[in-house]
Amino acid sequence: MQPFSRRREGGPGPALLMLGAALALMFWGYLAAPAPAPIRVLAAGPHGRWLLTRRSARITTFRVPARRPRPLQGNTSLVLAPYPGWEANGSAGADGRVRVAGGFLRVGVAHPHARFRGFFLTATHALPPAYTFEAWATPPPPVRQGVGELVFALQTASTTRTGLINYVWVAQLVTPRGRWWEAGDARGRIRNAHERRLAKVAVARFPPPAGVLNRLAIRTDGRHRLSVYVNGRCLLRARGLHLAVTPPFEPYLEVQARGTAYAVAYARYAAVQGRTVRLVGLPPGTRVRAGGRRLTVERRQVVIPRPARDGPLTVTVQVPGGRPHRLRLWPGDRVRYAPGGRTA
Do 133 and 268 form a contact (C-beta atoms < 8 A)?
A: no
Q: What are 306-321's pLDDT values in tens digits?
A: 999 999 999 999 999 9
Average pLDDT over residues 27-40: 49
The strand pair at 325-329 and 233-238 is best described as: unpaired
Domains of the chain: 4-33+58-272 (2.60.120.560), 40-55+274-339 (2.60.40)
Burial label, 40 (beta-carbon count in 10 A; 0-12, 13-18, 19+) = exposed
Do 208 and 139 form a contact (C-beta atoms < 8 A)?
A: yes
Beta bridge partners of 185: 168, 196
pTM: 0.88
Instruction: Return the number of other C-beta atoms located less than 10 Å from residue 199's C-beta.
Output: 20
Give which of 308, 284, 314, 306 is closest to 296, Cα–Cα.
284
- How far, rounded to the nearest angstrom, does the alpha carbon of residue 336 sit from its chain's CA centroid? 27
Q: What are 185-224's pLDDT values in tens digits?
A: 999 887 677 899 999 999 999 999 877 899 999 999 999 9
- Work out the pLDDT band at 39, boundaries 50, 70, 90: confident
Give which of 70, 35, 10 is closest to 252, Cα–Cα.
10
Which has the minimum average pLDDT: 63-77, 98-112, 152-166, 280-294?
63-77
Average pLDDT over residues 87-111: 96
Average pLDDT over residues 37-41: 77
pLDDT, residue 211, reads 73
Checking if the pLDDT of 34 tops 50, the result is no
- Work out the pLDDT band at 72, boundaries 50, 70, 90: confident
Checking if the pLDDT of 278 tops 80, the result is yes
Checking if the pLDDT of 149 tops 60, the result is yes
pLDDT, residue 341, reads 56
71: left (phi over 0), alpha (psi -120 to 50) or beta: beta
CB burial of 254-284 (b: ≥16 within 10 Å; e: otherwise) equals bbbbbbbbbbbbbbbbbbbbbeebbbebbee
Burial label, 248 (beta-carbon count in 10 A; 0-12, 13-18, 19+) = middle
